Amino acid sequence: MLIVDILAAAGEAAPQNKFGFAEALEQGGFIAYATVVILGTMSFGSFYILFTKWFEQSKIMRQYRDMRASFWKAPTLKEGTAKLEKNSAWRQIAEDGLQAEEEAGKLKDPTESHDWLHGSLARSEATINARLAGGLPFLATVGATAPFVGLFGTVVGIYRALIAIGVAGSASIDKVAGPVGEALIMTALGLLVAVPAVLAYNYLQSRNKRIGEMLTGFSTDVLANIASGGAVKPAAAPAKPTAPAKPAAAPAKS
């Protein structure tokens, strides 16, 4: 019993950690909790947009490779369009081109007909680019504002430290360590949320630029094909080489 009492007394006498993350939030009160919730929401939204847009971009790039290998081998633009995946960006441009071709035939001036075709394909291309850019403004907003949200928590923590100094009449470490630690945590959280958002924005933006170049090239090819009556076709991309079949094993000699 004596040993148990000694261990219990030692446990009670051991100093408790009052400067952890949970303790800092508890000391910060409502403002600290609200700052963490806001930054957490920003971080979740940033990663959600990053992964969803990445999968969407990867799908469009894969469809582009498949389209180049088979689309221009079709005898007509309409037959090639029917082979493309439904609801794909490339099928949308091809279908809009075919529809614009039908409507352009109603125009009496050939120049106006060409302008109508060009404008319709450009409008279709712009629609796809706008859809790809969805969510990127949120990433830009998070990258620009998250440090300031963290800074707000930092200012509140420093203010609480100054109040503690004023009440105690001295700047002892036990009075200011908690509020200052809370302030540093808020600063770190703001940067931790902002940096991935900025990196994700630049990465997705560069991929969108590459897809935009692909869309412009395909739109130009479709316009040339329609304007030439099917005479102008870009060379189809070579199909992926298949692995050579393994030679059959020689029969064992008896």
Distance, in Å, from the CA atom of 143 to the CA atom of 52, rounded to the nearest integer, reads 18
Tokens of 156: 């509140």
Position 63 in a domain? yes
Position 68 in a domain? yes
Position 43 in a domain? yes
Position 100 in a domain? yes
Q: Per-residue pLDDT tens for 228-237?
A: 887 777 766 5
Position 196 in a domain? yes
Q: How many domains does the chain have?
A: 1
Asked if 198 contacts 147 with a C-beta cutoff of 8 angstroms, the reply is no
Q: Per-residue pLDDT tens for 208-227?
A: 999 999 999 999 989 888 88
Position 218 in a domain? yes
Domain that holds residue 222: 29-227
Position 154 in a domain? yes
pLDDT at 202: 96
Q: Per-residue pLDDT tens for 8-54?
A: 444 444 444 455 556 655 665 677 788 888 989 999 999 999 999 99
Position 243 in a domain? no
Handedness of CA 143, 146, 148, 150 (dihedral sign): negative
36-45, 66-75, 152-161, 171-180, range with the lowest pLDDT: 171-180
